[in-house]
A and B are shown apart, each in its own frame.
Chain A
Amino acid sequence: MKKINSLKTIKLLALFFISSLALVSCSSDDDHDDDHEHEEELITTVIYTLEDANGNTVTLTFEDLDGDGGADGTTEVSGSFVANTQYSGSIQLLNETEDPAEDITEEVEEEGDEHEFFYTSTISDIVITKNDVDEDGNPIGIDTSLTTGEAGTGSLTIVLKHEPTKPNDGTSEDAGGSTDVEVTFAIEVVFT
């Protein structure tokens, strides 16, 4: 009786080890030491460059190089806008955790029908129009023009929506979808 039992135990243990071996071996398609996943879709940097007819530029930059969490993002505005002036604007989204930095604007452009930028300012006479369209003829908003009115101070907000309703009434609220970018800059419009 005892013999049979010990035999059984051995068999059971053997089964135990064989199956665990089999499982360990089939579970190692991922090596453990280098599992460092780079944030591939991360947008670390938003640069909105505005240039007037004379080549003067104002650059609005948002940077959050360590992504979500960690240090909060920072904004920088290179200077003031001039009143009653037209600027041509272009926006650039970068992932600077990659080397060289990945240009995410290209992806947005490729999937233009699934994306749209929205620009709003609390300075009411600033007008921003979108000059580019997606394959369905709806605006994307990578290429813009910005016209200033009277002098004032306020903020400018850039929103990028993923899978918005297109066409929409021009506001990000109406567009719905999910927000991929929402950054706000403190801006100033001055008389020269």
Chain B
Amino acid sequence: MKNILIAICFLVSTVVISQNCKYILKGEVIDFHNATPIEKAVIKIINTNTYAVTDINGKFTLTNICDKSIKIEISHLSCETKTITVNIEEMPFQTIFLEHHLDELDEVVVSANTRTETTSIEQSIKQQTIDNFADKSLGDALNTISGVSSLNTGNTIVKPIIHGLHSSRLLIINNNVRLFDQEWGDEHAPNIDINASNSIEVVKGANTLKYGSDAIGGLILIKPKKYAAIDSLFGSSLISLNSNGNGGIINSEIIKTYKSGYYAKLQASFKRFGDFKAPNYYLTNTGVQSINTSLTMGYNSFEKGFNAYYSIVSNEFAILKSSHIGNVNDLVTAINNEEPSIADDFSYTIDYPKQSILHHLAKVEAYKRFKGIGKLTAQYDFQINRRKEYDLRRGDYSDTPVIDLRLFTTSFQPNLLIDAIDDFEINTGFLLRFQQNDAISGTGVSPLIPDYEKYDAGVYATANYKMDLFNDISAGVRYDFSRIEAVKWYNTTDWEETYNYDELFPEFESGTTDNSETLTYPEFTFHNFSANLGYTRHFSNDFELFFNYGLASRMPNPSELFSDGLHHSAARIETGKLTIGKEVANKFMFSLQRNSQKFGFTISPYYNAINNYIQLIPAGITTTVRGAFPVWEYEQVDARIFGIDVDLDVKLNSKFNYSGSISLLQGDNLTDDIPLIQMPSTNFSNSITYYNKNLNQLSISLNHKTVLQQKRYPDYNFYTYNATVDDYVYVDISTPPSAYSLFGFNSSANFKAFKTGTLKVEFNVENIFNTSYREYLNRLRYFGDELGRNFNLKIKINY
């Protein structure tokens, strides 16, 4: 060895002599993050054998250099290798920054399974599960996570519920953009194409203040994939076919990446279903059509990068025809009938009533790292949500929507991540947001949600501190200012007598009246504070203990303040109230987890105390020309929701795996000492999977899910006089349906296709025994059964 070195030195020196190599390069190598010198970094002149190693102060000297302009390569054991060109005459002393945090590179290269925050209690679903739900919805996919359920309108409009809370109480973050798509309505599903995402994380605590202060229920993070900086072109296509609904989805994506760090991705999907079938009849007018496209491009390097993203989601949901009813007597008839009043043969037609929604989302994000400080990110985004809801109407209006709203949201949010100090990380930033709702005129119906403009500004700071190898602690605070300015015509009798607003809010009156209506300008300002505290303890044997506390406050959404109108599918008039104030939640959550291949589990109890919880409940009966209607009003009570989620994962032997979960939840209205309405009942699931890696990764699994009857519910049943039969009839709108159990079968196998591609084939059966059942958390449960058996075939090609 020594001899060889000597030989090399001799050779080098001979070359030096011959070329008059007089140049000397001095310099230092410094950690980009905390500006400390890096020892033992190797500095090598490219295409030569000349090199130097840094000393304890990070200093180095390269002597006997022949060219005044050279290329040098700087490398270090745990750093990203860097190449720079140096002109020695101009710069005889070089300061070179190296990126010393290898784990940080995950952000640039391929995202590993990292938590949103080190101390947050969260669960995620991965690409494979997303593929399984390719032709379903976000809500359906999330339903597989313990503690997460869904609020449905039929079977295509699915809203996620986390720990009993949904709509405005959940933040849905798509590609780092908070989704604003009129999420306040129970029958408004999030406009997300699940196929555009790579992983979906559910944060059950209220502790990701970066995204907002009002995550009373939790947070859903939809994340795109990060791509490695290599020259490559790849993609995948998926086709899924279903026997129930005679439809499916086609999804394709293609990705181009460059070694330089540039990347681009194009994805598109088309989904089409006709009428779905309950075990005993077709659910007439339940088809769906969905066309989605997303486009992303950007540049990633450690120091800087940008990302531009645009997606368009276009959904058309048919709504069960027999759910369009006129009054309470129609509702009673529907409840008492076993089958829906209209059950025609199969059809692809999407007829009225239906929802037609178009959602645009665009964002531009750029980041830059500053040495000794951290990473500065700025993001600008906008969204346009156009929602049209069609009902069965008369005459010239039969093709005009009854609801036509356009919601425009734009926001600007810079964030500074300070990670210069080892084991200590700070995230801070602010948010500016403007939102405008436009009730498009011409519907011939007074708008359910009026025109309004809303301004938000927020500022936050969160910190993570790694105390030692076993303990992490995090804390954060956030303040939000919101102002909403609306224009609304009120029924004069409602304004002056029913709600007494003329005395409560005389400042909102404009003085203009027209035909028993009063023009008003309601304006509200809210100040919201939120905070969180998190602690994680890692034990030996893969045990981890988490504790989260979150304080969240939420201003009432436009629906809770202003909504005013008839919902045909529920035969009810829903009324918001200007007197509704903000709700404030304190959520405590523990989680004991064990991540082990052999025997893993998660036990997560939680307690959420919500002051001034806003709920929509029946408040009386009004008589209209259509007959009697129950009036549902928003009111505020003190509430608590507590429960426990348990997940279990057991490796039975090398081929068989068992997983199971159970969710228990109780929600109480403490003000009236009764249960809360619309709370998920106890449910549990089991699945056994056979997996053979050597046999084309063959996977066969049997799964089961049981949802028990919700026994704790508030009784809002009432009697109403039915003139046509000259008698009082009982309107049972509260009693939840019976318990049900469903069984499913999944199988999949992977094959080689082409030169480098793979082909995955899946065959699945849902509801094997064609069980008829109804679900408490389906708003159309009065009208028809849930779906019957479905055979599904999926083929996915990666190329």
Chain A residues with a Cβ under 8 A of chain B: 5, 8, 12, 15-16, 19-20, 23, 27, 30, 32-33, 35-41, 43-44, 46, 62, 64-73, 97, 104, 107-108, 110-111, 115, 118, 120, 122, 154-155, 157, 159, 161-163, 165, 171-173, 176-184
Contacts and interface: CB of A to CB of B under 8 A. Distances in A.
A90 B623 CA distance: 24
A27 B625 contact: no
Nearest to A163: B392
A46 B625 CA distance: 8
Nearest to A183: B625
B726 interface: yes
Nearest to B408: A27
B289 to A, nearest CB: 23
Contacts, number: 175
A120 B366 contact: no
29 contacts: A16-B380, A23-B382, A36-B514, A37-B441, A37-B444, A37-B445, A66-B516, A66-B517, A68-B573, A69-B573, A70-B498, A71-B493, A72-B622, A73-B623, A118-B724, A122-B726, A155-B723, A157-B723, A157-B724, A162-B394, A173-B333, A176-B342, A178-B325, A179-B329, A181-B625, A182-B626, A182-B627, A183-B625, A184-B723
A65 B516 contact: yes
B688 interface: no
Interface string B608-636: 00000000000000111111110000000
Contacts of B366: 8, 12
Given A69-B622, A107-B395, A157-B724, A37 B627 contact: no
Given A36-B517, A72-B622, A104-B394, A15 B364 contact: yes
B625 A44 contact: yes
B310 to A, nearest CB: 12
Nearest to B321: A163
Contacts of A62: 625
B394 A35 contact: no
Contacts of A111: 394-395
Interface string B743-778: 000000000000000000000000000000000000
Contacts of A68: 565-566, 573, 622, 624, 629
A176 B723 contact: no
B51 to A, nearest CB: 29
A39 B445 contact: yes
A44 B491 CA distance: 14
Interface in B565-589: 565-566, 568, 573, 575
Contact of A16 (B394, B412, B441, B726): B412
Given A36-B489, A162-B326, A178-B568, A41 B393 contact: yes
Interface stretch (B88-96, B432-440, B690-698): B432-440
B525 interface: no
B444 A66 contact: no
A110 B368 CA distance: 67
Contacts of A163: 392
B394 A107 contact: yes
A114 to B, nearest CB: 8
A179 B394 contact: no
Interface in B424-453: 434, 436, 438-447, 450-451
A182 B331 CA distance: 14
B576 to A, nearest CB: 12
B406 interface: yes
A23 B435 CA distance: 12
A184 to B, nearest CB: 4
Tell which of A12, A37, A154, A163 has the most Cβ of chain B within 10 Å. Answer: A37
B723 A73 contact: no
Interface residues of B, number: 70
Given A37-B445, A157-B723, A72 B380 contact: no
A162 B17 CA distance: 102
A69 B450 CA distance: 16
A12 B379 CA distance: 9
Contacts of B324: 178
Contacts of B342: 176
A173 B406 CA distance: 38
A107 B378 CA distance: 57
A111 B342 CA distance: 20
Given A23-B408, A32-B451, A179-B329, A73 B625 contact: yes
B330 interface: yes
Contacts of B446: 37, 39
B228 to A, nearest CB: 26
A29 to B, nearest CB: 8
A37 B723 contact: no
Tell which of A111, A122, A178 has the most Cβ of chain B within 10 Å. Answer: A178
B167 interface: no
A184 B622 CA distance: 14
A181 B623 CA distance: 11
Contacts of A73: 623-625
A154 B412 CA distance: 66
Interface string B396-437: 010000000010101010000000000000000000001010
Interface in B121-152: none
A183 to B, nearest CB: 6
A70 B322 CA distance: 28
A156 to B, nearest CB: 9
A34 to B, nearest CB: 8
Contacts of B327: 179, 182
B625 A69 contact: no
A12 B378 contact: yes
Contact of A32 (B333, B395, B487, B494): B487
Tell which of B394, B412, B451 has the most Cβ of chain A within 10 Å. Answer: B394
A16 B725 CA distance: 64
Given A30-B438, A177-B326, A178-B392, 7 more contacts: A35-B439, A44-B625, A69-B573, A71-B493, A73-B625, A120-B723, A180-B394
Given A12-B380, A37-B444, A162-B394, A66 B493 contact: yes
A179 B330 contact: yes
B410 A69 contact: no
B432 to A, nearest CB: 10
B519 interface: yes
B482 interface: no
Contacts of A177: 326, 341
B326 A179 contact: yes
A70 B444 contact: no
Interface in B295-347: 322, 324-327, 329-330, 333, 341-342
Contact of B326 (A16, A46, A180): A180
A171 B722 CA distance: 13
Contacts of B498: 69-70
A8 B305 CA distance: 13
B515 interface: yes
A38 B519 contact: no
A171 B724 contact: yes
B297 to A, nearest CB: 15
Nearest to B340: A176
Given A64-B625, A72-B622, A40 B575 contact: no
Nearest to B453: A32
Nearest to A181: B625
B564 interface: yes
Nearest to B337: A176
A150 B442 CA distance: 51
Interface in B471-496: 487, 489, 491-494
A36 B626 contact: no
B380 A173 contact: no
Interface string B258-297: 0000000000000000000000000000000000000000
Nearest to B398: A111
B316 to A, nearest CB: 21
Contact of B441 (A35, A66, A182, A184): A35
A157 to B, nearest CB: 4
